[in-house]
Amino acid sequence: MRTDAQNRILDGAAAACLLAAFGVSLCIGRYPLGLSDILGALTGAEGMAAQVFWRLRLPRSLAVLVSGGALGVAGAVYQALLGNPLAAPDVVGVSGGATLGAAVMIVCFGGTGLAAGAFAGGLCALAAALLITRACGQRGTAGLVLSGILISALVKAGIMLLKTLADREGELAAIEFFTMGSFADITWRALPSLCGGVALGLAVLALLRRQIPLLSLGDAQAAALGVRVQPLRAAVLGGATLAVCAVSAHAGVIAFLPLIAPHAARLLLRGRSRGMLPLSFLLGALLLLGADIAARLIRGAELPVSVLTTALGVPMLVSLMVKGGRADA
């Protein structure tokens, strides 16, 4: 187990790595920037390098950092509240809902309002799952997971329907592209709503952080300790989902990150829960920056970021698991 002091050192180290990755992310791309270019842009120099830096590289890197952190924290919250280490936004149908929302916008409105559709779709999926849980009097997390599976199935049917209706050239490709995630099209215009949604969601979680371990105890214990379980669980899941939806709206569905960042955090914390949320934020951001850098490094067409979050995440988690296993033995 880590002590609180060790936790702080761990957070500091992760933050330092994050800063370095952010720096690298600013340099890498189709138009590589050097350190002098960036310094020049920051001190008011003009020209191509400064344009690339201000218009493309900085918003993209910021968006990746914020998104990765948001997904990491959201994953940790889902896992705690649903009492399941495999829980992620897809479990309660949020990713599917966002995809459906995006697909509706792509097929019916030619792609305008895609972000709004994805955002609303994800939140509606959570709301539907919570309502079903409530309506059938199913208390506890098992009922919520079951409702989530039902919503996911329903949403999948909707997506299939829209895919058959979509035209093969443009719309179908756009839907597929959404499900693979990408930060290639991020500009400053996306940042206010992305950062706003994430900040709002994380603020809810930060305010209610003391309730998260209480909710993880399950209904009977939480209620016995004076927790109003239903509204608080909805608020905490809502906060996490708000952050996820804000990300999905602009970058599509990013696979695996909400699952893997909290696991990495847990392994680094040697099983301790305290400090999970900040470290999940740092590791999520770090991992997504790494994936996005790799996506741009590979020559030719840019790869979807989900391919890389998975390709980077799995070996990282395996190595942590192997090390953790040895430490325990």
Partner 1 sequence: MLEVKALRAGYRGRQVLCGASLHVRPGELCALLGENGSGKSTLLRALCALVPAQYEVCSLEGRDLPGMSARQRALCAAYIPQRCDIDGGLTAEEVVLMGANARTPLLSGYAPAQREEARGCLARVGAQALAGRLMGTLSEGQRQLVVLARALMQRPRLFLLDEPDSALDLSRRYAMMDALRAAMGADCGALAVLHDAQLALSCCDRVFVLRDGQIACGLDLHAADEAQVNAAMALLGDGTRAVRVDGEWAVLGRKRTE
- The interface region with partner 1, picked from 86-94, 113-121, 160-168, 205-213 by CB under 8 A, is 205-213
- The interface region with partner 1, picked from 31-39, 115-123, 217-225, 237-245 by CB under 8 A, is 217-225
Smallest separation (angstroms) from partner 1 to the CB of 12:
21
Q: 217 near 225, Cβ under 8 Å?
A: yes
From first CA to last CA, the distance across the chain in angstroms is: 14
Assess 1 for contact with partner 1 (CB under 8 A): yes
Interface residues for partner 1 in 275-294 (CB under 8 A)?
A: 276
**Exposed/middle/buried for residue 220 (C-beta within 10 Å: 0-12, 13-18, 19+):** exposed
Assess 208 for contact with partner 1 (CB under 8 A): yes
Smallest separation (angstroms) from partner 1 to the CB of 228:
6
C-beta closer to partner 1: residue 60 or 266: 266
| Contact pattern for partner 1 over residues 250 through 269, marking x by CB under 8 A | ----------------x--x
- The interface region with partner 1, picked from 91-99, 152-160, 168-176, 222-230 by CB under 8 A, is 222-230
C-beta closer to partner 1: residue 104 or 283: 283
Phi, psi at residue 43, to the nearest 5°? -95, 10
Give the 3-state secondary structure of 40-109.
HHHCCCCCHHHHHHHHHHHHHHHHHHHHHHHHHHHHHHHHHHCCCCCCCCCCCCHHHHHHHHHHHHHHHH
Instruction: Give the list of residues 6+ apart from residue 139 with CB closer than 8 angstroms, or none.
Output: 219
Identify which of 229, 92, 81 has the alpha carbon closest to the alpha carbon of residue 141.
Answer: 81
Q: What's the rounded Cα separation, in Å, for the pair 236 and 65?
A: 22
Selected binder of partner 1 within 8, 189, 228, 323 (CB under 8 A): 228
Assess 324 for contact with partner 1 (CB under 8 A): no
- The interface region with partner 1, picked from 39-47, 109-117, 157-165, 227-235 by CB under 8 A, is 227-235
Phi, psi at residue 269, to the nearest 5°? -85, 5
| Contact pattern for partner 1 over residues 73 through 92, marking x by CB under 8 A | -------x--x---------
Assess 135 for contact with partner 1 (CB under 8 A): no
Assess 307 for contact with partner 1 (CB under 8 A): no
Q: What's the rounded Cα separation, in Å, for the pair 324 and 318?
A: 10
Assess 134 for contact with partner 1 (CB under 8 A): no
Selected binder of partner 1 within 27, 213, 311, 316 (CB under 8 A): 213
Q: What's the rounded Cα separation, in Å, for the pair 34 and 10?
A: 30
Assess 224 for contact with partner 1 (CB under 8 A): yes
Assess 163 for contact with partner 1 (CB under 8 A): no
Return the structure tokens found at 32. 């590589």
Q: What's the rounded Cα separation, in Å, for the pair 78 and 59?
A: 28
Question: Interface residues with partner 1 (CB under 8 A)?
Answer: 1, 80, 83, 207-208, 210-211, 213-214, 216-221, 223-229, 266, 269, 271-274, 276
